[in-house]
Amino acid sequence: MATRSEPRLQAIAAKPASPAWWRNPDVRAVIYQVLALLLVILIGTYLVSITMHNLEVRGIRSGFGYLDHEAGFRVGETLISYTAADSYGRAIIVGLLNTLRVSIIAIVLATIIGTVVGIARLSKNWLLAKLASGYVELVRNIPLLLQLFFWYSAITGLLPAVSAAVELLPGIYLSKSGLMYPVPVESPAHLWMASAFLVAVVASVFYTRWANRRQETTGVRPPVVQVVALLIVGLVAAAWLAGGAPTAFDAPAKSRFTYTGGASISPEFLALLLGLTIYTAGFIAEIVRSGILAVPWGQTEAASSLGLRRGLVLRLVVLPQALRVIVPPMTSQYLNITKNSSLAVAIGYPDLVSVTNTTLNQTGQAIECISIMMGIYLTISLAISLTMNWYNKRVALVER
Amino acid sequence: MANAAMPSPLPSDAPMVQLIGVNKWYGQFHVLHDIDLTVASGERIVICGPSGSGKSTLIRCINRLEEHQKGRIIVDGTELTNDLKNIDQVRREVGMVFQSFNLFPHLTVLENCTLGPIWVRKTPKAEAEAEAMSYLERVRIPEQAAKYPGQLSGGQQQRVAIARALCMQPKVMLFDEPTSALDPEMIKEVLEVMVELAHTGMTMLCVTHEMGFARTVANRVIFMDRGRIIEQNEPEEFFNNPRSERTKLFLSQILHH
Amino acid sequence: MSETQAFAETPVAEPTRVDLTRDWVRRRLFDGPWNSLLTILAIAFLVWAVPPALNWFFFDAVWSGGDPAACRGAEGACWAMVHDKYRLILFGRYPYMEQWRPFLGMLVLIAAVAVSCRRANWKLWLAGVWIAAFAVFFGLMWGGFLGMTHVRSELWGGLPLTLLLAMAGIAAAFPLSIVLALGRRSKMPVIRAICVVYIEFIRGVPLISLLFMASFMLPLFLPEGISIAALLRAQIAIILFSAAYLAEVIRGGLQALPNGQVEAAQAIGLSYWQTQRMIVLPQAIRMVIPPIVNTFIGLFKDTSLVAIVSLTDLLLAMRQAVADPEWRVYFVEGYVFIAMIYFVFCYFMSKYSQYLERDLYTGNRRS
């Protein structure tokens, strides 16, 4: 019959005619991409050639050799030893360490303050909620640079001179020149105390594991928080006693017109820390608040109707779900703190951008300097992004 | 009669749930008016009424998800007051199933069921899991124990919610429109589980629109409107001889869909 | 039968206003010992902070008087400084007699924003309105025709500069960000790679480094003889910066759009660009207008960074005005003044964004 005829079988077996090459979407895709690449390469080559020419004309050297040359400038505060005779490379590392130093401390403080303010905004207490809202609205609507300039001007303009420093707490003095505070005198007991702390932490981990197992087998949960606190405080105190109970502090002591002894924080660092912390805490407060609000009220109701008390409802049901919503934007804010610390250049804190700026002005090698600076920031951003992606994948809620 | 196979409520002196002159306001809106209700142990009560009639609020007052301003609520001898100990005691004896399931999405089905027993009744983990599995079998989804709620259908999630409430071994089960959020083909599986539960003599208060369920299982049907109990009666009498005009109107609307 | 005994002696009555207020105070301020303590601490803080602040701000303040001597004895704020310097703060070094031009230009720009706020106006002709507004603004600022003297861009400053940088930044970044967002979702690996690299690079570095790049490196990229003004360099940096962040916002909208929309368009037979232009982009962008407004608020605040590359925006203009040795001590008043300006702009924009969110999303929610 007709169904088995040759022409029909041939028609079935034959492949459809290929469209003309310019209508074939796969060919088009390749062409577009090739064109895009060509465009990028063309622009790139053009820019590079002009730049090389301009560099020659202006007598600017190229290459990264300058990193080994003597820097010739002093840096206001450093974590590692540095003098004007050290290389530019070392100066950049000093700047990077300063950036990390202020960023990490600001991250910790902003997280604590932001979380407290965020929870306060959700409080049943009307006054507390309104005060917290006022704080958040205020800091979020004023540029960070303005806040930084304000704090810096206030510290260096309104605070008294060193000779008349304000004593905030015994041994802690605030003045135009920053904050001075006492540090314990070096003693072998400190090593003991540090080791005791580590031992206590490890012991706490094991104890918590044991407590969990105990609860699984008997149903009764041994006290965890109190025991861990006791362990840490107790062991460290014991080590302190064993080391001879040193109480010597090197405190700032008034001598004529200034103070000697103790340690100090520069006004630049103080202003930067204050500005970054207070500004970012406002954003973190909003993140914490929306994270907690994101957990449906029904979850709290279901947990309460099982008989769980408020503390357990928070710990077992609300917080795990809230954290999933809070962590991604939170890490974004941590990244912002690191990038915003670059505003240090405006108030004279020697961070990475500051040092790069000085190096740039001295060597004229703008391209190399700025590239190094950007490269470092990109690395930090990448590290934080990757960590966040890993965390997100790990805690993603399993759905169909 | 449809109710013949059901165990009848135990006659006892102390009722399981008592509401005496209960009143509640939201601000100035009077949402519950002088509610008097006594539920004996083993009784199955269906509460129906138009939306806004306060029926959900009523049962939510029984496990203190809502606070009543005037009157008394007594559950299994414990009076509900601001005293946290009383509230904990009542919540241990009362289980609740919600319209939107409210399963904990970050825990597996099994962990959802064992959370209460482990942390409130202080049951050892192995024992809690064994009990949870037996309840999951009763609601006919033991094979889903390791799955997460997000992976289950609506009907399955609601059955898990019922098992979760049962794992606390409550004396009273409250149902707040358990099938209203379900697709039609899943309503049956949940109702079947509830009917089986009724077979075991559990005291149940259900807010629902499923009148077939009311006819099968209920000892009493209560009609509420605008915060008051208008009428209550045995199902047959209630459906065939409604006494109040409002009841008649409501029944005519709901039984002709 | 004690349980069923009558409970209350008082008849059931509706709670009165006084009852409700007392109840509110008890519940919201003094609910339990911890809350009561917090309320008392909060009230103590307010009593300690507010009256002196009010005194400084209003009651003891000096409002006018041409020279600093008037403020020297006073305990309150020296608003006389603002009174004396406000033109410098608001307009920078723009020639005094011509300052009506930037003022008018600002009004035109703000009018364009106001027109964009009405949802009914979210159509294609709105782009024309913005282009016209910018044309008028540039015409007024630049001058050189209609009897207006020519004013170089180096002299532009203050609030008009801040507005220009932010608004031109977002307006010019918009088309670029759409291309980037679409490119990032493209199936062609090379296109996607280029877009991803650009977006992640810009988002990974601080804005200040981009401003430095524009200030120091851009001149090196230009052929000999061509130079561009500092203002244009900063503007380019800001445009490239906002394009990356906007692209991510728009990408969020593209992802949220149900797949069925593209499928329906394909079923009708629309080409890729037709689909994007007529179906996808209008819906996707509408969905993310609140985040776009938030990005604009952030950008508005970020323009203050051009102060670091010596562009006289509102922040730098204020610092320069206050650097005057006679008025230098009153820098706090200067900061408070421009903080209020920034606050007013940003606060109302964020309220608008919240209003939009409520409005847009109630429409989209399934009842």
User: pLDDT tens, C247-256?
Assistant: 999 998 898 8
Highest mean pLDDT among A207-211, C69-73, C227-231: A207-211
C362 at interface of B, judged by CB pairs closer than 8 A: no
**pLDDT > 50? residue C1:** no
CA C219/CA A104 separation, integer angstroms: 36
Tokens 């532009």, located at residue:
C156
Using pLDDT thresholds of 50, 70 and 90, give the confidence band for residue B12.
Answer: low
The reply to whether C9 touches chain B by the CB within 8 Å rule is no
Burial of C364 (0-12, 13-18, 19+ CB in 10 A): exposed
Tell me the average pLDDT across B8-21. 79
pLDDT of residue B190: 95
How are beta strands B17-26 and B70-75 bridged, if at all?
antiparallel
**Chain C residues touching residue B33 (CB < 8 angstroms):** 12
Task: Count the Cβ atoms, other than its own, within 10 Å of residue B225.
Answer: 20
Shortest distance between the Cα of C128 and any Cα of chain A, in A, equals 30
Section C62-78 average pLDDT: 79
- Say whether residue C332 is in contact with chain A using an 8 A CB cutoff: yes
Q: Which residue has better confidence, A1 or B1?
A: A1
Interface contact flag, C4 B34, Cβ < 8 Å: no
Backbone angles phi, psi at C92, to 5 degrees: 65, -140
Query: Does C309 lie at the interface with A, CB-CB under 8 angstroms?
Result: no
Per the CB < 8 Å rule, is B124 touching A303? no
Mean pLDDT confidence for C166-182: 94
CA A37, A40, A43, A44 dihedral sign is negative
d(CA B214, CA B221): 7
Whether residue C4 lies within 8 A of chain B, CB to CB, comes out as yes
Residue C9 has pLDDT above 50, yes or no: no
pLDDT of residue B4: 47
Contacts of A342 in chain C (CB under 8 A): 206, 208-209
State the Cα torsion C129-C130-C136-C138 to the nearest 10°: -170
pLDDT in tens, A156-203: 988 888 888 888 888 888 888 888 888 888 888 888 889 999 999 999
- Of C120 and C307, the structure prediction assigns the larger pLDDT to C307
CB contact under 8 A, A141 and C350: yes
pLDDT tens by residue, A199-241: 999 999 999 999 999 999 998 999 999 999 999 999 999 988 8
Q: Is A4 on the interface with B (CB under 8 A)?
A: no
Q: Please tell me the predicted confidence (pLDDT) of residue B3.
A: 47
Q: pLDDT-derived band of residue A75, with 50, 70 and 90 as boundaries?
A: confident
Q: How far apart are the first and last CA of chain B?
A: 25
Contact across the interface for C3 and B28, Cβ inside 8 Å: no
Alpha-carbon gap, residue A269 to A178, rounded angstroms = 8
What are the structural domains, with CATH classification, of chain C? 14-59 (no CATH), 80-94+151-364 (1.10.3720.10)
Interhelix angle C331-364/C79-91, rounded to 10 degrees, is 60
**pTM of this structure:** 0.85
Hey, what are C188's tokens? 């062609």
| Among B12, B70, B228, the residue to mutate for chain C (most C Cβ within 10 A) | B70
- pLDDT, position C361: 65
The pLDDT of residue A3 is above 70: no
pLDDT for res C184:
93
pLDDT of A134 reads: 95
SS3 B212: helix
CB contact under 8 A, B91 and A316: no
In chain C, what residues touch B21 (CB-CB under 8 Å)? 6-8, 12
Q: What is the rounded average pLDDT for all residues in chain A? A: 89
Contact at CB, C7 and B21, closer than 8 angstroms: yes
- CB contacts, 8 Å: A400 with chain B: 150-151
- Sequence length of chain A is 400
Q: Chain C neighbours among A 130-149 (CB < 8 Å)?
A: 131, 137-138, 140-146, 149
> pLDDT tens digits for B41-73?
999 999 999 988 999 999 999 999 999 999 999
pLDDT at position C120 over 90: no
**Range with the poorest average pLDDT among A327-336, C35-44, C102-111, C278-287:** C278-287
CA distances from A316 to A214, A321, B91, C195 (A): 18, 9, 18, 42
Q: CB-based contact (8 Å) between A384 and chain C?
A: no
* C201 and A CB contact within 8 Å: yes
Question: Which chain A residues have a beta carbon less than 8 Å from that of B168?
Answer: 306-307
Q: How far is CA A103 from each of CA A9, A260, A329, C70, rounded to the nearest angstrom?
A: 74, 28, 17, 43
pLDDT of amino acid B73: 95
What is the structure's pLDDT at A79? 82
Could you say which of A299, A309, A398 has the minimum Cβ distance to residue B88?
A309
Report the C-alpha gap between C357 and C361 in whole angstroms. 6
Q: Specify the pLDDT at position B11.
A: 57
Q: Using CB atoms, which chains have 3+ pairs under 8 A with A?
A: B, C
The rounded distance, in Å, linking the Cα atoms of B90 and B84 is 10
Kindly state whether B104 is in contact with chain A, defined as any CB-CB distance less than 8 angstroms: yes
Q: Closest chain B residue to A303 measured between Cα atoms?
A: B116
* pLDDT, tens digit, 9 for 90 and up, residues B175-193: 999 999 999 999 999 999 9
Chain B positions in Cβ-Cβ contact with residue C19 (cut-off 8 Å): none
Query: Who wins on pLDDT, C246 or C219?
Result: C246
Between positions 216 and 235 of C, the ones with CB within 8 A of A are: 216-217, 219-224
Is there a contact between C217 and A153 if contact means CB atoms under 8 Å apart?
no
Helix A144-158 / helix C314-322 crossing angle, nearest 10 deg? 20
Question: Would the pLDDT of C364 be above 50?
Answer: no
Share of chain B above pLDDT 70, in %: 94
* A126-140 and C32-54 helices, crossing angle to 10°: 50
The neighbouring-strand residues paired with A250 are A183
- Under the banding of pLDDT at 50, 70 and 90, the label for residue C172 is very high
Distance CA C182, CA C191 (A): 10
Q: Which chain B residues are Cβ-neighbours of C2 within 8 angstroms? A: none
Q: Is the pLDDT confidence value at C239 over 90?
A: yes
Considering only CB atoms, which chain B residues are within 8 Å of C12? 21, 23, 33-34, 70
Sheet holding A263-265, edge to edge: A166-169, A172-175, A178-181, A263-265
Interface test with A, best of B106, B148, B177 (most A CBs within 10 A): B106
Q: Calculate the CA dihedral of residues A140, A142, A146, A148 and round it to 10 degrees.
A: -20
Residues A98/A352, Cβ–Cβ less than 8 Å:
yes
Chain C residues inside the 8 Å CB shell of A137: 347
Q: What ranges in chain B are assigned the alpha helix state H?
A: 55-62, 84-93, 109-119, 125-138, 154-166, 184-199, 211-217, 235-240, 245-254
Structure token pair of residue B226: 């605008």
- Report chain C residues whose CB lies below 8 A from the CB of B71: 7-8
Q: How far is B221 from chain A (nearest CA, A)?
A: 25
> If we measure between CA atoms, which residue out of C208, C176, C203 comes closest to residue C302?
C208
- Distance (Å) from the C-alpha of residue A8 to the closest C-alpha of chain C? 30
Query: Which of A73-77, A380-384, C46-50 shows the lowest per-residue confidence on average (mean pLDDT)?
Result: A73-77
Which chains pack against C, by 3+ Cβ pairs within 8 A?
A, B
Mean pLDDT, rounded, for A286-292: 92
Cβ of A161 under 8 Å from any chain C Cβ?
no
Quick one: which of B32, B39, B69, B71 has its CA closest to B53? Answer: B32
How far from A391 is each of A384, A385, A396, C64, C300, CA to CA, in Å? Answer: 11, 10, 8, 58, 32
Among partner residues B91, B100, B127, which is closest to A307 by beta-carbon distance?
B91
CB contact under 8 A, C12 and B70: yes
Question: What pLDDT is attached to residue C317?
Answer: 93
Give the C-alpha separation, C343 to A140, whole Å.
9
Q: Which residues contact C210 (CB under 8 A, 6 or more apart)?
A: C202, C237, C240, C241
Nearest to A370 among C209, C301, C339 (CB): C209
Determine the average pLDDT of the residues in C208-224. Answer: 89
Q: Can you give the pLDDT at residue A2?
A: 55
Across the interface, do C3 and B71 touch by the CB < 8 Å criterion?
no
> Hey, are the CB atoms on A143 and C308 less than 8 Å from each other?
no
Three-state DSSP at B174 gives: strand
Transcribe B63-103 into DSSP letters.
TTSS--SEEEEEETTEE-SS-HHHHHHHHHHEEEE-TT---
pLDDT at site B45: 95
Chain C touched by B34 (CB under 8 Å) = yes
Of C191, C208, C302, the CB nearest to A345: C208
pLDDT at B5: 58
Nearest CB neighbour to C3, from listed B18, B28, B34: B18
Structure tokens at A236: 């460290």
DSSP state letter for B7 = P
pLDDT in tens, B93-135: 999 999 999 999 999 999 999 999 999 999 999 999 999 999 9
Residue B81: both structure tokens together:
């007051």
Count other C-beta atoms under 10 Å from residue B119's C-beta.
22
Mean pLDDT of chain C: 86
> Is C6 a residue whose pLDDT tops 60?
no
pLDDT in tens, C84-102: 888 999 999 999 888 999 9
How close C255 gets to chain B, by Cα (Å)?
Answer: 21
**Residue C74 per-residue DSSP state:** -
Beta strand A178-181 with A172-175 is: antiparallel
Lowest mean pLDDT of C34-38, C74-78, C272-276, name the range. Answer: C74-78
In this predicted structure, what is the pLDDT of residue C8? 39
> Inter-chain contact A141–C209, Cβ cutoff 8 Å?
no
3-state secondary structure string across chain A: CHHHCHHHHHHHHCCCCCCCHHHCHHHHHHHHHHHHHHHHHHHHHHHHHHHHHHHHHHCCCCCCHHHHCECCCCCCCCCCCCCCCCEHHHHHHHHHHHHHHHHHHHHHHHHHHHHHHHHHHCCCCHHHHHHHHHHHHHHHCCCHHHHHHHHHHHHHHHCCCHHHCEEEECCEEEECCEEEECEECCCHHHHHHHHHHHHHHHHHHHHHHHHHHHHHHHCCCCCCHHHHHHHHHHHHHHHHHHCCCCCCEECCEEECCEEECCEEECHHHHHHHHHHHHHHHHHHHHHHHHHHHHCCHHHHHHHHHCCCCHHHHHHHHHHHHHHHHHHHHHHHHHHHHHHHHHHHHHHCCCCHHHHHHHHHHHHCCHHHHHHHHHHHHHHHHHHHHHHHHHHHHHHCCCCC
Cβ-nearest to C42 among A127, A138, A356: A127
Q: Which of residues 123-182 of C touch A (CB under 8 A)?
A: none
C12 in B contact zone (CB under 8 Å): yes
- Tally DSSP H helices, then E strands, for chain C: 17, 0
Check CB contact under 8 Å for C191 and A36: yes
Is residue C171 predicted with pLDDT exceeding 50? yes
